[in-house]
Amino acid sequence: MSEPSRIGGFSETEVNKVLDAACRRVGLDASGATVLRGHTNAVFLLSRSPVVAKIARRGSDTAEVRRTVQLVEWLTRRDFPTVPLLPVEQPVLVHGHAVTFWEYLPQPDHPVMAQQLAAPLRMLHELPTPPFPLPPLDTVGAIRRSLVAVTALASGDLEYLSIRLDGLEKALADVRFVLPPAVLQGDPQHRNALHHGSAAVLCDWDTASYGPPEIDLVTIEIHCRRFGYGTAHYEAFAEAYGFDVVEWRGYEVLRDLRELRMITTNAKRAAPGSATLAEVVRRIAGLRAGDDEQRWNIL
């Protein structure tokens, strides 16, 4: 069975109708728009304006999108390096689906390097507490919710992931964080940052929260190790940030939790017979084998 053609959880026809209606609401033309990403949210580049439209994945809570807008507006007022929102009232709601509009930053053909993420990430972690609530970091809870939503995994794999989570939850209780709590990007990595001149700006704030910065740093390390960027790429980041999370005593527990979240987030969206499911199953086999260096394919 081939993987269904869906963009951000929508059929192609439906997502194009949402895009067209949202664009008309803010005076933009959606004709000729191209898909930039469609695995999690539906992200389009408009052809008639230097604008990116982001349609929250089907089933997303509009309150969460409003919180993202509030956070980005706050960051922008503090001159934080983030992709700016278009200056229109946001989000735009179309049949209950939240759409946001962002300035388009043209990109070269090479990704942002991990080292370039160090300055904006450290700046983020040094910001004061926002004047509005952010959800506390809850990696264990997020993984449990994903496991409940999984429909395509074999029962043996699902049981293995659940048992692994139980063990990590117990180990997490003994972890002692050394960095002060801060605003967290939630998924800082090469694909969630963009070139802006000689520097980099952060984007994709959907999983922003408040908690220990170590989780953001572990995420960077995982992406360097699992997706082929290499050790030198991570080491350059750690030196520029000023803290090497790999040397921290809680690293392995947080690493394993973050990797489990990456697997289960994709597992809950994987359809039977899909390439996504095949990659999830392959990653689980790597966990079972204790292969911490297994190369993962980007989903």
Distance CA 121, CA 200 (A): 10
| 133 and 246 both lie in a single domain | yes
Q: Which of 37, 44, 12 is nearest to 299 (CA)?
A: 37
| Chosen domain end from 81, 103, 125 | 103
- Within a domain: residue 163? yes
224 contacts 234 by C-beta, under 8 angstroms: yes
| 30 and 134 both lie in a single domain | no
- Within a domain: residue 189? yes
| 43 and 134 both lie in a single domain | no
pLDDT tens digits, 46-68: 999 999 999 998 888 999 999 99
| Chosen domain end from 103, 133, 161 | 103
The predicted structure's pLDDT at residue 2: 40
- Within a domain: residue 241? yes
- Within a domain: residue 296? no
Q: Centre a 10 Å sphere on the Cβ of residue 72 and count the other Cβ atoms it contains.
A: 22
Half-sphere exposure (Cβ direction) of 88: Cα atoms closer than 13 Å: 18
User: Token pair 């264990």 is at which residue?
Assistant: 140
| 149 and 233 both lie in a single domain | yes
- Within a domain: residue 278? yes
Task: Supply the CATH number for residue 217's domain.
Answer: 3.90.1200.10
| 165 and 139 both lie in a single domain | yes
Q: What is the largest CA-CA distance in the chain?
A: 54
| 133 and 75 both lie in a single domain | no
**pLDDT tens sequence for the chain (299 residues):** 344 457 888 888 999 999 999 999 999 999 999 999 887 889 999 999 999 999 998 888 999 999 999 999 999 999 999 999 999 999 999 988 999 999 999 999 988 999 999 999 999 999 999 999 999 999 999 999 999 999 999 999 999 999 999 999 999 999 999 999 999 999 999 889 999 988 999 999 999 999 999 999 999 999 999 999 999 999 999 999 999 999 999 999 999 999 999 999 999 989 999 999 999 999 999 999 999 999 999 98
Collect all residues with Cβ–Cβ distance below 8 Å to 186 and sequence separation of at least 6.
205, 206, 207, 208, 209, 216
Task: Supply the CATH number for residue 22's domain.
Answer: 3.30.200.20
| 282 and 148 both lie in a single domain | yes
Instruction: Specify the pTM.
Output: 0.93
Q: Centre a 10 Å sphere on the Cβ of residue 174 and count the other Cβ atoms it contains.
A: 9
Q: In terms of residues, how long is the chain?
A: 299
Query: 180 lies in which domain range?
Result: 114-288
| 68 and 147 both lie in a single domain | no
| Chosen domain end from 59, 84, 103 | 103
- Within a domain: residue 293? no
- Within a domain: residue 294? no
The predicted structure's pLDDT at residue 5: 54
| 45 and 153 both lie in a single domain | no
pLDDT tens digits, 178-227: 999 999 999 999 889 999 988 999 999 999 999 999 999 999 999 999 99
| 142 and 211 both lie in a single domain | yes
287 contacts 267 by C-beta, under 8 angstroms: no
Dig out the tokens for 119 from the structure: 């300055």
The predicted structure's pLDDT at residue 4: 47
- Within a domain: residue 298? no
| 156 and 119 both lie in a single domain | yes
Task: Please state the domain count of the chain.
Answer: 2
| 242 and 275 both lie in a single domain | yes
At residue 193, what are phi and psi to the nearest 5 degrees?
A: -145, 155
User: Token pair 């940030």 is at which residue?
Assistant: 241
